Amino acid sequence: MAIDLQPWLDGIDASMVFHPANAFVISCGTVTLDLGRGKVLLIWNRNLSIFQLPKGRRNIDEPMLNAALRETYEETGVRAAPLELNIATRATPPTVDEGADGPPQKSPQITEGHLSTEFVGTCLYPDPQSDTKALKAVFFFVATADSTATRDHGTQETYEKLEASWVLISEVDQKLRFASEVAVVKKAIADVRKSGYTINNA
């Protein structure tokens, strides 16, 4: 007996939403950690008087991880390096050679057990800085840096009034203005620990 797929397809059709490229903003940022000192890199936005994670719009044809590291550098003067983690993701896992040891692996819906620099989470919201209606998606990646290193100066755009601030991880939920960014940091910390890294004083 044939299965009627029409109701299922109709449901997909009803839930699918089209956004043209000029109505969708891709932004990229980092949760940059100093693992040895238990600190996370935030920015103090003097225009809004709030703490935020460093992030900014992706350039045309720029890989998202590159954009996240570039924006972090431009906003803070900190040169962060991506941290490889065991992240639960829906990205396709690496292909396993047929001659490799062990049973063949099928592609699961959620991939785990692979070190990668995939994004750990995203925040979705209407873009408050756009003159026209636009949806903004901010993809966050985990990075590491030395909080005692001298930061480069003059990296910000002229209109930006941002101050880099290394904050103890235990203080993040009191510092960050947006609950979703707190959730991103907590997810990053959980993935760092799951991946076998040690975070001192946290």
pLDDT per position as a tens digit, 71-109: 999 999 999 999 999 999 988 887 655 555 555 555 568
Number of structural domains found in the chain: 1
Q: Domain span at residue 162?
A: 24-91+109-194
Return the pLDDT at 70.
Answer: 97
Return the pLDDT at 107.
Answer: 59
Please name the residues in contact with 194: beta carbons below 8 A apart, sequence gap of 6 or more: 85, 86
- C-alpha to C-alpha distances, 54 to 51, 97, 108, 135, 142, nearest whole angstrom: 9, 39, 32, 19, 12
Using one digit for the tens of pLDDT, what is the confidence trace for 138-188?
A: 999 999 999 999 998 888 777 778 899 999 999 999 999 999 999 999 999
Using one digit for the tens of pLDDT, what is the confidence trace for 13-60?
A: 999 999 999 999 999 999 999 999 999 999 999 989 999 999 999 999
Please name the residues in contact with 117: beta carbons below 8 A apart, sequence gap of 6 or more: 65, 82, 83, 84, 85, 141, 142
* Residue 19 domain flag: no
Which residue would you say has higher pLDDT here, 5 or 180? Answer: 180
Give which of 38, 36, 42 is closest to 54, Cα–Cα: 42
* Ramachandran region, residue 77 (left: φ > 0; alpha: ψ -120 to 50; beta: rest): left
The DSSP output letter for 101 is S
Alpha carbon distance 165, 35 (integer Å): 15
CATH of the domain at 168: 3.90.79.10
Return the pLDDT at 108.
Answer: 62
- What percent of the chain has pLDDT above 70? 93
Task: Look over the chain and give the mean of its residue pLDDT values, rounded to a whole number.
Answer: 91
* Residue 98 domain flag: no
Return the pLDDT at 105.
Answer: 55
